Amino acid sequence: MMLTMARLTQAHVDARTGDILAAAVALFASRGIEKTTMADVAAEAGISTGAIYRYFPGKEALLAAVFEREMRDSAAQFERAAEASGMGLAALFQVGEKVTSTGDSQDCALWLEVELASLRDPEGIGGRQRDVHDAIRANIQTLVAASQGSGEIDASMDAEALSTLLFAVARGLQLETAETGNGPRSREALDLLGRLLRLSGEHGLPPA
Amino acid sequence: MMLTMARLTQAHVDARTGDILAAAVALFASRGIEKTTMADVAAEAGISTGAIYRYFPGKEALLAAVFEREMRDSAAQFERAAEASGMGLAALFQVGEKVTSTGDSQDCALWLEVELASLRDPEGIGGRQRDVHDAIRANIQTLVAASQGSGEIDASMDAEALSTLLFAVARGLQLETAETGNGPRSREALDLLGRLLRLSGEHGLPPA
Amino acid sequence: MMLTMARLTQAHVDARTGDILAAAVALFASRGIEKTTMADVAAEAGISTGAIYRYFPGKEALLAAVFEREMRDSAAQFERAAEASGMGLAALFQVGEKVTSTGDSQDCALWLEVELASLRDPEGIGGRQRDVHDAIRANIQTLVAASQGSGEIDASMDAEALSTLLFAVARGLQLETAETGNGPRSREALDLLGRLLRLSGEHGLPPA
Amino acid sequence: MMLTMARLTQAHVDARTGDILAAAVALFASRGIEKTTMADVAAEAGISTGAIYRYFPGKEALLAAVFEREMRDSAAQFERAAEASGMGLAALFQVGEKVTSTGDSQDCALWLEVELASLRDPEGIGGRQRDVHDAIRANIQTLVAASQGSGEIDASMDAEALSTLLFAVARGLQLETAETGNGPRSREALDLLGRLLRLSGEHGLPPA
DNA sequence: GATGAATGAGCGTTCATTCAT
DNA sequence: GATGAATGAACGCTCATTCAT
């Protein structure tokens, strides 16, 4: 009986924590962090103002959890897209397309909040974010290496530089899409980059 | 009774306005907008709390001025870099390098604040920002067209798509540089893109 | 989770609202509206500064409630006095005496604040006050008509003009009493008016 | 030369003082005392913000001067009306009519501000106001006595009680007129009182 | 003497956090 | 454990007053 209770309680706690996080994510993204009150989050999560402090010790901790979740989601998005798409250049660009096409301005806003927090706290969340970004870049680099191995793109290109470029393009276009809503334009830019890379596979890239 | 004061006044007002703007830019960038109080800005500008309201009617107006200045600076940065660099592909990448290499995390933070504000107020500041970005992209497109005209890059490429790509790369790498401080890596990514583009000039881009 | 609180809540809210209103009435009357801070009211009501905003959305709303209460009290005072006094001329003057004799300078100050607010906002509170005054005058007119019906005062007198006169006397003497504290003098003036009216019942009023 | 300067200066000071007072009267009456800033008054008077402090040591002193002026004006209005109207009952009611018919809500507002201030500071301005009111009542009493002497109204009536009544009526009707704008109704009420008084002259007032 | 920019205390209001129920 | 009323520090802003020019 104790065990059943405990398990239920833990599940309950997890569920509530998830509700609160989801509420916080939604509100922090749409209204902004400072314009969202703890009472707002509690109401959105369907609990009382005070109850939120049983799950998070304060707004800062809640924010940290939201940021952590946002970063995890970002990384997971890349990972899932990569896993689902095989290993060729086409796969790489399917990833890019998926990432780019989610021009949800809410997601983007939260992402920007994380970027801002990282800039302002390079040791804390900034460090964590660098890890996440490194992981993503490593992921990209794996796909790049595979494309180089198959000869689709020039094998002499610096895989790190290329993955940096691709990551930058992904971030830049995501921002672009969120701001303008012009998804097709971003896709065309991405296609263009793909064709340039294929060209490198065909003719080889001349030295710098 | 007007003349005695008048000579000092306009210069004085401009100077104070500039002081306040500079203080606001510094604090909004480093601490964040909501965590910066009007008293903070005033203190940083070397004036009293109340005095700030002679120059800006309120925090919102101050913020708008800061944003406007940030956007103007962004556009001017591109414009100046373009003007100083001639018209070839090399010029284009000198622009990119300049933009990318300023990995000042303060500038970047303010830029991100503008992006966030734009996402949350698409009609207001968002509209203004789209105009600024369109102007920048148009600038880039001019350089692209010149490079296509000289045969340095494939003339069949969609100039709009390419300028979108280049703008995205610039933004993505600027973020990257600000976050990691790794300027050389960004420069390598940029070089890689330059070589890909030159390759298109030599061999022509195959159809999509 | 509703039931445990619910029973207390409404009573509690009403009690607190009443406390706050009473505190506001006392302070607005004695210090003046603008010299009374929300913190003053809260302290007088025995709650914290912030708590007051759970009961009233702001100072303006609190003021409106105080004014409404003041006007209701004014009207009720007349009404109760009228109900308690029957219908003759004597009744009319008992009403007058009651109204006049309450030379409480606090009540009077609040009443004057309402008058001032009405003068400055004729559409808003001014309109509400005119309604209240019309109701009071109608009340007086009923008593006047009864006195005319019984022959105590001249039936040919314009009942509206007479009630206007009586209302003006009441207001003028209330002010007088509050200012000088000289209740007996006001009562003598009122008696004199009563005798003049009785004279009209005995001899009839000559035409204008 | 000193004398000329001095006289001019004194005249200048008086003129400026008058300008400021007039500006303050206008603004205190229309906007209210607390909503009128010293800068508002200065601007309305055509001088600089700081200059006002050469003529009045502070807002409180300015307010006191405004109140003093308002009270003097009130008394003077009665006095002038009385002087211009001779000594009979008709004169009395011409005075009443003049006082009552000025249903200017601005004047009234300022008068109410004085009343309020008197209620709140019975020792200070309240005492001064009682003196002024006593003077006015004495004035009225003179007219009353004259009317009693001529037999127009019953000579047995207590002149003090009657003048209190008349003063109260004047104040009540002035308020009424300012609030409703219904001057004719006030005049009818006044006429009615006049006829009641004349009736006392014809038939004599029975004892209380 | 006049000016009006500057000062800074103080106001109305909000909200993260606590705690009696 | 949950509730939501209460707290009070802190914010944006105003304005009476001062004082360098």
Is C120's CB within 8 Å of D109's CB?
A: yes
Using a CB–CB cutoff of 8 Å, tell me whether C198 touches chain D: yes
D28-70 pLDDT, tens digit each? 999 999 999 999 999 999 999 999 999 999 999 999 999 999 9
**pLDDT classification of D27: cutoffs 50, 70, 90:** very high
Is A34's CB within 8 Å of B34's CB?
A: yes
3-state secondary structure (DSSP) of residue B112: helix
A102 against B24, higher pLDDT: B24
Mean pLDDT of all residues belonging to chain C: 88
C102 against D78, higher pLDDT: D78
Alpha carbon distance A58, D21 (integer Å)? 57
- How far: A115 CA to F11 C1' (Å)? 26
Q: Give the CB-side neighbour count of residue C147, counting CA atoms within 13 A.
A: 30
Whether the predicted pLDDT of C189 surpasses 90: yes
D79 against D1, higher pLDDT: D79
Whether the predicted pLDDT of C26 surpasses 70: yes
Q: Which nucleotide is nearest to D52 (CA to C1')?
A: E2
- How far: D35 CA to E2 C1' (Å)? 26
**pLDDT classification of B83: cutoffs 50, 70, 90:** confident
Whether the predicted pLDDT of A78 surpasses 90: no
Is A33's CB within 8 Å of B35's CB?
A: no
> How many CB pairs lie under 8 A apart between chains C and D?
176
Span C5-29, average pLDDT: 84
C132 against C103, higher pLDDT: C132
D178-191 pLDDT, tens digit each? 899 888 999 999 99
pLDDT at B86: 72
Using a CB–CB cutoff of 8 Å, tell me whether A115 touches chain B: yes
Alpha carbon distance C78, C138 (integer Å)? 11
Candidates C126, C171, C200; nearest CB to D196:
C200
Q: Are B29 and B113 in contact (CB under 8 A)?
A: yes
Alpha carbon distance D136, A167 (integer Å)? 90
A145-188 pLDDT, tens digit each? 988 998 899 999 999 999 999 999 999 999 999 899 888 999 99
- How far: B61 CA to E8 C1' (Å)? 22
Task: Using the Cα atoms of residue D22, residue D28, residue D31 and residue D37 in order, give the sign of their dihedral.
Answer: positive
pLDDT at D42: 96
Q: Are C118 and C38 in contact (CB under 8 A)?
A: no
pLDDT at A9: 77
Span B169-195, average pLDDT: 92
Walk me through the domains of chain D, giving residue ranges and CATH numbers. 1-56 (1.10.10.60), 67-203 (1.10.357.10)
- How far: A53 CA to E18 C1' (Å)? 10
Alpha carbon distance D80, D97 (integer Å)? 13
A160: DSSP letter: H
What's the distance, CA B32 to chain centroid? 18
Listing DSSP states for B140-160 in one string gives HHHHHHHHHHTTSS-TTS-HH
Residue of C nearest to D207 (CA): C195
Listing DSSP states for chain C in one string gives --HHHHHHHHHHHHHHHHHHHHHHHHHHHHH-STT--HHHHHHHHTS-TGGGGGT-SSHHHHHHHHHHHHHHHHHHHHHHHHHHT-SSHHHHHHHHHHHHH---HHHHHHHHHHHHHHHH-TTTHHHHHHHHHHHHHHHHHHHHHHHHHTTSS-TTS-HHHHHHHHHHHHHHHHHHHHHH--HHHHHHHHHHHHHHHHHHHHH-PPP-
| Residue among C150, D146, B116 nearest A30 (CA) | B116
Q: How many CB atoms lie within 10 A of CB C22?
A: 15
D6-17 pLDDT, tens digit each? 455 778 888 889
Angle between helix axes A89-101 and A125-149 (nearest 10 degrees) is 140
Give the mutation candidate from A160, A171, A186 for the B interface (greatest B CB count, under 10 A).
A171
Q: Are B18 and B24 in contact (CB under 8 A)?
A: no
Alpha carbon distance B183, B173 (integer Å)? 9
Please, what's the b/e burial string for C165-182 (b: 16 or more CB within 10 A of its CB; e: otherwise)? Answer: bbbbbbbbbbbbbbbbee
**pLDDT classification of A49: cutoffs 50, 70, 90:** very high
Whether the predicted pLDDT of D5 surpasses 60: no
Is A175's CB within 8 Å of B168's CB?
A: yes
| Residue among C108, C72, C68 nearest D171 (CA) | C108
Span A40-53, average pLDDT: 96
**Percent of chain B whose predicted confidence (pLDDT) is above 70:** 94
3-state secondary structure (DSSP) of residue A154: coil
Residues with CB under 7 A from strand F: A 9, 12, 16, 47-51, 54; B 8, 36-39, 49-50, 53, 57-60; C 1-2, 5, 9, 12, 16, 47-51, 54; D 35-39, 49-50, 53, 58-60
pLDDT at B6: 42
The two tokens of residue D111 are: 């008068």
The two tokens of residue B144 are: 């692209």
Whether the predicted pLDDT of D109 surpasses 50: yes
Mean pLDDT of all residues belonging to chain D: 88
Residues 38-77 of C with CB under 8 A from D: none
Is C170's CB within 8 Å of D171's CB?
A: no
Mean pLDDT of all residues belonging to chain B: 88
Is B120's CB within 8 Å of A32's CB?
A: yes
- How far: A106 CA to E8 C1' (Å)? 42
Residue of D nearest to C202 (CA): D203
Angle between helix axes B105-120 and B59-84 (nearest 10 degrees) is 120
Q: Which of C8-22, C145-159, D44-58 has the highest mean pLDDT?
A: D44-58
D47: DSSP letter: S
B34: DSSP letter: T
Alpha carbon distance C25, C66 (integer Å)? 6
B94-137 pLDDT, tens digit each? 878 877 777 678 889 999 999 999 999 999 999 999 999 999 99
Alpha carbon distance C156, C206 (integer Å)? 9
B145-170 pLDDT, tens digit each? 989 998 899 999 999 999 999 999 99
D133-170 pLDDT, tens digit each? 999 999 888 889 988 998 899 999 999 999 999 999 99
Is C164's CB within 8 Å of D185's CB?
A: yes
D47 against D91, higher pLDDT: D47
3-state secondary structure (DSSP) of residue A21: helix
pLDDT at A6: 47
Residues with CB under 7 A from strand E: A 35-39, 49-50, 53, 58-60; B 1-2, 5, 9, 12, 16, 47-51, 54; C 8, 36-39, 49-50, 53, 57-60; D 9, 12, 16, 47-51, 54
Whether the predicted pLDDT of D3 surpasses 50: no
What values do phi and psi take at D126, rounded to 5? -60, -40
